[in-house]
Structure 1
Amino acid sequence: MTGGFSNAPVAVRAAVTVVLVLAGLVLLGAEPAVAAPAETAAVAAPAPEEDTGICPEAPPGMQSFADDVTAWAKWGVLALIGIGAVVSLGSILVGRIFSHPHASRYGAMGVAVVVLVAITYTVILTILDSITGSGCT
C-alpha cells in the first residue's frame, strides 16, 4: 500500500486539488502586507490623465430594480450554499451513525462542492462589483 490518499475516489482528489489551487490563487492575488515606499519630493509625479472611458450606468428608473434583483440573487445563492452545507454535513453524520459509507462519501463530496461554489460565488461577486461599482477604472 502506498498511501491512503491514492485509494480515494477520483472526484474527491479532483475536488481537493481544485480547492487548493483556488486557495493558492486567492492568496497570490492578495494585496501585499507592506506598503510601497512613498515617492520623494525630488521625483516629479506625472500629471493625472483624464479618463476617457465610459462608466456603466443603468437606464433611468432601472437602478432600484437592478439592485433588488441583485440582492435577491445574492441572498438566494447564499441560502442555497447554506442548505447544501447542512445537507452534506447531515449526510456525513447519518452515514457514520448508520454505518452507511456511501452516504458519508457523498456528504464529503458535497462539502467539497459547497466550498468550491462558495469560492466561485465570492469571485463572481468581486467581478460584478468591479464592473458595476462606483467610478471608472
Structure 2
Amino acid sequence: MTSTPHPLIATPTTPAAAAAPVGPGPTAPPGTQQYADEILSWIKWGALTVLTMATIASVGMLVWGRATHHPRGARLGFDGIMISIVGAVLYTVAPSVIASIAR
C-alpha cells in the first residue's frame, strides 16, 4: 500500500518550490493607500499621545506616593513608568516588525 499525498496538502518537490512565496503580496486597492496612510498616522499619533500622558501621570503618582509616604501609590507610579517604557519600546519596534512580516 503506497501513500499518496492529499491533493489539498502542499508537498514541495524541490527546495526552490518550498521557498517560493504563496500567492501575491498584499496591496491596497487603487485610491485607498492615501486614506490608509492617513489613518495609520492618526493611530500612531494617538498612541504616542496616550503613551506620553501615561508617563506623566505615572511620574506624578510616583512623586505623590513618595511625598506622602504612601507605598502603594509609589509602587503604582513605578509600575506605570515601567509599562510606559515597554510601550515606548513596542511603539518604536512594532512598525518595523509588522513591515517585515507583511513583505
Q: TM-score, normalised by structure 1?
A: 0.54
**1:1-137 alignment runs, 5 A limit:** 54-131=24-101
Q: Structure 1 residue 117: deviation in Å?
A: 1.4
Q: Give the greater-gyration-radius structure (CA).
A: 2
Root-mean-square deviation over aligned CA pairs: 1.8
CA contact (8 A) 1:56 1:131 kept: no
Q: Map Cα deviations across residues 50-73 of structure 1 (whole Å, 9 max, x no partner).
A: xx7534321011101100110001
Q: Which runs of 5+ in 1 are unaligned?
A: 1-51
Higher helix proportion = 2
CA contact (8 A) 1:89 1:107 kept: yes
Give percent identity, aligned residues only.
Answer: 34
CA contact (8 A) 1:88 1:111 kept: yes
CA contact (8 A) 1:89 1:111 kept: yes
Aligned-partner Cα distance in 2 for 1:131–1:58: 16
**Higher relative CO (CA 8 A, sep ≥ 6), structure 1 or 2?**
1
Aligned-partner Cα distance in 2 for 1:108–1:69: 33
Deviates more, 1:84-93 or 1:111-120: 111-120
Q: How many residues align?
A: 82
Q: TM-score, normalised by structure 2?
A: 0.70
Q: Map Cα deviations across residues 21-45 of structure 1 (whole Å, 9 max, x no partner).
A: xxxxxxxxxxxxxxxxxxxxxxxxx
Q: Structure 1 residue 97: deviation in Å?
A: 1.4
